[in-house]
């Protein structure tokens, strides 16, 4: 690294996009860069973007895999709209990402891959380099493939293994450009490949080769520095939404003093929850990979009946299959957490892309009057908090709870301050003591209409549960018409009572005014950033983001009625806006919707807000 400080420019934040073929290791490259930046104290948020095919056609635009990372010395809430730096490993990667590069940005390409054959394979009529307009961009044509081969010439590796290392050459270049140390990544190689020393040596060699090559390239001068962010003291780690969800469930089980059980079936993008929890036998976690979605949730219901914190995880298509069993958990009034990591649909749809289109399914997608609690996480790290909260509500209120995350949250990562378990609230399931006198399964214990929980096998508390309607108090099968109405109201009112145990929705900005920007779940970061930037520009608006969907926070109507315009932004055709209209028929809502399998961009949100406020 050069010591000439005149050639180093200080930046507040930077967006980098690594892009290449599915086999080029771009997800790993981006992860290593973001982990290093997080360890240096930068605030970080990432956006992995990859095709659904296990091995898409090589060199095609459909096979392009990307990883975007936004890091800075100030608060980062989005992975960024446009890239300051694009690393493109082939023509398809460049063609797919031209529109996402900032004017004047740096583009690092592997010039060795820009052959006529690869350009044709990418579906380009002419070389995509010519579409950039060289005066608007800083183009770095690096012979990455050739230099990788040169660096590894002395090692006993086959050609395929050598080429597999070229992503580390590109990573080394970007490390030099932003003054990132190599030590963290070297340690990763040593841990990952400790049984294959030659692979450790190869990756370290190529990483250093890319680093020192960048130092010699005039187009990469000056280099840049991004100072650490000012953050609350504590122990941090970089975490994605799926792992945060898993750990939130483990923490809830510990605070409730219950064993954790997950019955699940692998499905993109939720599979990592099953994978992560399966590693935690040391913490008493039990996992069961079922033969299908229905078996997954039914085993979880069985575990709940026996006194476990029971969870099932899935995505939209799987939630459809679990529907009847969710109704079973509702009528039996058993605690159950259903994690739905939303993706693009319908059907198989866009399995690796993000969307918010399962809200109506979560709220109403069951037969009969079958109410349950619905909550939504809003950042990768607070997936921990809302997984914990979903478990708390399920256990304390004896109800299924659907936790909505999405592909953006599940795969995106950011620094997370590991909490002290002592600071997390205790969870108090309404467990009935052994030999309790006069136990009745459906006797309500309090004004929250919660029934007592007697796990199967508890001495003296033998009882039966099932899918047929229950007689109030006794729980015996009942076909009495009036009783069905009583039980239907009790199940509905029990969910309404949860409202007394959730916080009010928080308003960012003034509590009344011209326009209120409204979001829910995973759109929080983009909406909050748009709100914050517009406030700095002097625009009069406020912002709320909903995490509690059913029931809504108690102050919701009071907040909404205080604004002249209510703009609801969501990644669907307007499901939350429709839900708000159902609940507040005296209010009018404006919609802005995006259904492209991509998050909002801050730029488009700001344009829509200014349009509504008639601000130029």
Q: What is the pLDDT of residues 288-325, one digit of tens each?
A: 999 999 999 999 999 999 999 999 999 999 999 999 99
Whether 127 and 249 share a structural domain: no
- Each residue's pLDDT tens digit, 230-274: 888 899 999 999 999 999 999 999 999 999 999 999 999 999 999
Cβ(593)–Cβ(574) below 8 Å: yes
pLDDT attached to residue 1 = 40
Cβ(305)–Cβ(280) below 8 Å: no
Dihedral (C-alpha) 476, 480, 486, 488: value to the nearest 10 degrees?
Answer: 80
Whether 61 and 203 share a structural domain: yes
Residue where one domain finishes, among candidates 174, 199, 223: 223
- Each residue's pLDDT tens digit, 541-565: 999 999 999 999 999 999 999 999 9
How many residues does this entry show for the chain? Answer: 616
At 381, is the secondary structure helix, strand, or coil? Answer: coil
- When the pLDDT of each residue in the chain is averaged and rounded to a whole number, the result is 95
Whether 69 and 207 share a structural domain: yes
pLDDT attached to residue 128 = 82
Taking 90 as the threshold, does the pLDDT of residue 401 lie above it?
A: yes
Taking 80 as the threshold, does the pLDDT of residue 181 lie above it?
A: yes
Whether 193 and 252 share a structural domain: no
Provide, rounded to the nearest whole percent, the portion of the chain with pLDDT above 70: 98
- For the whole model, what pTM was predicted? 0.95
d(CA 388, CA 392): 6
pLDDT attached to residue 6 = 55
- Each residue's pLDDT tens digit, 505-533: 999 999 999 999 999 999 999 999 999 99
d(CA 1, CA 457): 67
| CATH number of the structural domain spanning residue 605 | 3.40.50.920
pLDDT attached to residue 8 = 87
pLDDT attached to residue 133 = 67
- DSSP code per residue over 414-475: EEEEPPPGGGSPP----BPPTT-TT--TB-B-STT-PBPB--TT-TT------SSPBPTBT-
Does residue 457 form part of some domain? no
Which whole number is the average pLDDT over 377-394? 98
Phi, psi angle pair for 601, to nearest 5°: -105, 150
d(CA 562, CA 505): 14
Does residue 585 form part of some domain? yes
Taking 50 as the threshold, does the pLDDT of residue 229 lie above it?
A: yes
Q: Where are the beta strands (DSSP E) in 12-80?
A: 13-21, 43-49, 64-72
Whether 267 and 133 share a structural domain: no
| CATH number of the structural domain spanning residue 247 | 3.40.50.970
Does residue 230 form part of some domain? no
Taking 60 as the threshold, does the pLDDT of residue 5 lie above it?
A: no
Whether 103 and 218 share a structural domain: yes
The count of domains in the chain is: 3
pLDDT attached to residue 156 = 86
Whether 328 and 398 share a structural domain: yes
Cβ(249)–Cβ(387) below 8 Å: yes
Task: Name the nearest CA neighbour of 244 among 370, 130, 413.
Answer: 413
Segments forming the whole domain that contains residue 143: 5-223
Whether 541 and 584 share a structural domain: yes
pLDDT attached to residue 227 = 94
Compute CA distances 482 → 110, 181, 330, whole Å. Answer: 74, 71, 19
Does residue 451 form part of some domain? no
Does residue 308 form part of some domain? yes
Tokens of residue 54, six digits: 């296990």
Whether 197 and 317 share a structural domain: no
- Each residue's pLDDT tens digit, 60-97: 998 999 999 999 999 999 999 999 999 999 999 999 99
Instruction: Count how many Cα atoms sit within 13 Å of the Cα of residue 458 in the half-sphere of its side chain.
Output: 20
- Each residue's pLDDT tens digit, 114-159: 999 999 998 887 788 877 666 678 999 999 999 999 999 989 899 9
């Amino acid at each position: 690294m050069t010591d000439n400080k005149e050639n180093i420019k200080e930046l507040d934040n930077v967006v980098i996009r690594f892009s290449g073929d599915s086999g080029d290791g771009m997800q790993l490259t981006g992860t290593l860069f973001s982990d290093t930046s997080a360890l240096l104290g930068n605030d970080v948020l990432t956006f992995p973007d990859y095709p659904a095919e296990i091995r898409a056609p090589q060199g095609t635009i459909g096979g392009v895999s990307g990883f975007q990372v936004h890091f800075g010395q100030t608060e980062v809430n989005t992975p960024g709209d446009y890239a300051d730096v694009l690393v493109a490993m082939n023509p398809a990667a460049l063609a797919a990402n031209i529109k996402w590069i900032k004017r004047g940005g740096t583009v690092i390409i592997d010039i060795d891959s820009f052959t006529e054959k690869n350009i044709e394979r990418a579906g380009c009529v002419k070389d995509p380099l010519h579409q950039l307009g060289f005066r608007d961009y800083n183009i770095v044509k690096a012979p990455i493939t050739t230099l990788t081969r040169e660096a590894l010439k002395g090692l006993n590796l086959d050609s395929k293994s050598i080429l597999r290392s070229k992503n580390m050459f590109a990573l080394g270049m970007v490390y030099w450009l932003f003054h990132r140390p190599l030590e963290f990544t070297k340690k990763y190689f040593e841990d990952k490949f400790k049984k294959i020393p030659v692979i450790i040596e190869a990756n370290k060699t190529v990483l250093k080769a890319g680093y020192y090559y960048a130092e010699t390239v005039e187009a990469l001068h000056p280099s840049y520095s991004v100072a650490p962010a000012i953050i609350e003291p504590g122990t941090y780690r970089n975490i994605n939404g799926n792992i945060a969800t898993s750990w939130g469930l483990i923490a809830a089980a510990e605070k409730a003093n219950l064993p954790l059980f997950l019955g699940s079936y692998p499905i993109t993008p939720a599979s990592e929850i099953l994978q992560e929890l399966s590693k935690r036998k040391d913490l008493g976690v039990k996992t069961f990979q079922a033969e299908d979605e229905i078996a997954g949730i039914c085993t979880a219901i069985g575990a709940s009946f026996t006194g476990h914190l029971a969870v099932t995880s899935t995505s939209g298509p799987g939630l459809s299959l679990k529907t009847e069993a969710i109704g079973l958990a509702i009528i039996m009034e058993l605690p159950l957490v259903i994690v739905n990591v939303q993706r693009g649909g319908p059907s198989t749809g866009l399995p690796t892309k993000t969307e918010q289109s399962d809200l109506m399914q979560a709220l109403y997608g069951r037969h009969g009057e079958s109410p349950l609690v619905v909550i939504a996480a809003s950042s990768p790290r607070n997936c921990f908090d809302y997984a914990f909260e979903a478990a708390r509500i399920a256990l304390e209120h004896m109800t299924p709870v659907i936790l909505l995350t999405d592909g953006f949250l599940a795969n995106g990562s950011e620094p997370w301050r590991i909490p002290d378990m002592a600071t997390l609230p205790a969870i108090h399931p309404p467990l009935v003591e052994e030999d309790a006198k006069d136990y009745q399964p459906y006797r309500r214990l309090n004004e929250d209409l919660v029934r007592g929980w007697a796990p199967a096998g508890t001495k003296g508390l033998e009882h039966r549960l099932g899918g047929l309607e229950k007689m109030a108090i006794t729980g015996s099968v009942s076909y009495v018409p009036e009783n069905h109405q009583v039980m239907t109201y009790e199940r509905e009112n029990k969910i309404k009572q949860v409202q007394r145990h959730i916080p009010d929705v928080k308003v960012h900005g003034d509590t009344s005014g011209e326009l209120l920007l409204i979001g829910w779940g995973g759109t929080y970061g983009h909406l909050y950033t748009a709100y914050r930037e517009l406030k700095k520009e002097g625009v009069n608006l406020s912002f709320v983001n909903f995490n509690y969907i059913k029931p809504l926070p108690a102050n919701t109507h009071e907040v909404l009625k205080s604004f002249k315009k209510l703009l609801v932004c969501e990644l669907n055709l307007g499901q939350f806006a429709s839900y708000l209209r159902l609940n507040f028929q005296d209010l009018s809502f404006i919609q802005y919707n995006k259904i492209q399998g991509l998050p909002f961009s801050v730029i488009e949100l700001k344009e829509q807000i200014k349009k509504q406020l008639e601000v130029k």
